[in-house]
A and B are shown apart, each in its own frame.
Chain A
């Protein structure tokens, strides 16, 4: 029988040590709690060198090419400046950045967005339509076939229809309503040096395409994309941004900065506004 402590007394176990750690001149050391990444904690997809030399292997390679350079390999269907790997980081391998190896074995699945059961191929079509602000390839197109082959290969050894750790994005708490005022400040400090102060990303000087992807404007994802919801954006940001320093923003900071991003101008949802897309295109981009 442990003696009951009076309410309000701070026990060592409940004590938050973050409050008096020397910062070492950086904010995150004072406030972050990064989940330890232990070997074996997350599913590890096969290595590139293990792609078989066969027709299947060729399809996997084409799928990978489309995935990391969508601008070139799926040019016909893309309507903005993004690549798949801008959100599915590190060739679709990174846990908590919507890794492909965790998504593929879950399909076919029910999707609230369309209120229907969709196959993996149909899900990829939606990526082209919303996230890439483009046109959906037909289900029998080589692009869809190759992307599915790549996903299939990445998922080698993953259990079918089982939630894997690292699937999707981070799960967040929401202590208060987010404020774009705070978000703007955070954006300028933490994001603008890569994604530019106007959110339009940064282009290469001597070749086509973006070094750092645009977060809003005509060259970014449209309002129908998942990333356009503040929740998805915040969950992604918490786990992955700034690049290489995932989990260093507080949950509330992630909500705030994504609220600021959500307020910006981007292409209309194609299900909603073809008229507006034609006659009032989003500002910026290109």
Chain B
């Protein structure tokens, strides 16, 4: 008896909860279900066929990467003949990276850092008064990335050059050559990559950089197949403030929590992964 009355009242509550929903949108599905006895297969293009614009950009990018232009040195001098990077010097691989990501990084490398000593004062806010939309007051960095070697080169590139280079390198195939490392180092690196540090609020690498460190979308670059030295250098840059161009400041928050040992372990772990991009 008691249970029954509880049930009824719960259903009444749920009814009240749902009664202001948009039924019209949903009842169209009745007609869809009644009218269709076969599912409609989504028509998708089989594989990406590069249109002529992209092909031209890739060709122009290839030319710039191999020959350079005026005072712009050839990319292959540091980034390897096939964009595989240079382990010893910590020069990153570019082959198979997301085109939009490469483009953004080059634009950020070319951007002037603000003069030192400039402090932007926040707007004084009184949170005890009327509610306001704080997000209106959010200021994100325009995307800063400084590198002694790459920034001067990036400054010389035109927008078109950057677009072409991004198109070229994103089209290149890549196969990682796993670098051997100490077993304990790999184990610790793996622990960080798969689980992060829960008790410190540090998320796992895989939660953004994809399960095998292959990267995801335009915001999350691959970690697998990058030289260990490069990964360590970039985390150091975030900690120093030389790099501040990540989406929502996510990587900034992560880098702030990494110890020197963490950097080395996780970089070694990802340099040790195997990876195949663009079906090489």
Contact = CB atoms under 8 A, between A and B. Distances in A.
B131 A279 contact: no
A26 B203 contact: no
A282 B14 CA distance: 16
Contacts of A211: 210, 216-217
A37 B257 CA distance: 11
Given A244-B253, A269-B14, A193 B248 contact: yes
Interface in A44-61: 44, 47-49
Contacts of B208: 194, 243
B153 interface: no
Interface string B155-180: 00000000000000000000000000
Interface in B104-124: 119-122, 124
Interface in A13-72: 16, 18-28, 30-31, 37, 39, 41-42, 44, 47-49
Interface string B232-255: 000000000000100111100110
A22 B124 contact: no
A193 B249 CA distance: 12
A245 B249 contact: yes
Given A25-B141, A279-B29, A186 B135 contact: yes
How would you classify the secondary structure of chain B's contact residues: helix, strand, loop or mixed?
helix
A202 interface: yes
A20 B122 contact: yes
Contacts of B250: 242-245
Contacts of A115: 6
Interface string B195-208: 11011111110011
Contact of B14 (A44, A244, A272): A272
A42 to B, nearest CB: 5
B49 interface: no
Contacts of B125: 18-19, 30-31
B219 interface: yes
B30 interface: yes
B131 A283 contact: no
Contacts, number: 146
A250 interface: yes
A185 interface: yes
B85 to A, nearest CB: 22
Contact of A185 (B21, B27, B135, B247): B135
Contacts of A161: none
A280 B249 contact: no
B14 A27 contact: no
Interface residues of B, number: 57
Contact of B195 (A28, A30, A90, A175): A90
A181 to B, nearest CB: 9
Contact of A26 (B23, B134, B139, B219): B139
Contacts of B22: 265
Interface in A160-178: 175-176
B31 to A, nearest CB: 10
A81 interface: no
A182 B135 CA distance: 9
Contact of A243 (B198, B203, B219): B203
Contact of B27 (A94, A95, A272, A280): A280
A22 B121 contact: yes
B217 A30 contact: no
A226 B165 CA distance: 48
B137 A27 contact: yes
B69 interface: no
Contact of B199 (A44, A189, A242): A44
9 contacts: A21-B122, A27-B138, A37-B199, A99-B198, A211-B216, A250-B127, A276-B26, A279-B29, A281-B29
Interface of B: 6, 10-11, 14, 17-18, 21-23, 25-27, 29-30, 33, 119-122, 124-127, 131, 133-135, 137-141, 187, 191, 194-196, 198-204, 207-208, 210, 216-217, 219, 244, 247-250, 253-254
Interface of A: 16, 18-28, 30-31, 37, 39, 41-42, 44, 47-49, 89-91, 93-95, 99, 115, 175-176, 179, 182, 185-186, 189-190, 193-194, 202, 204, 211, 223, 242-247, 250, 252-253, 265, 268-269, 271-272, 276, 279-283
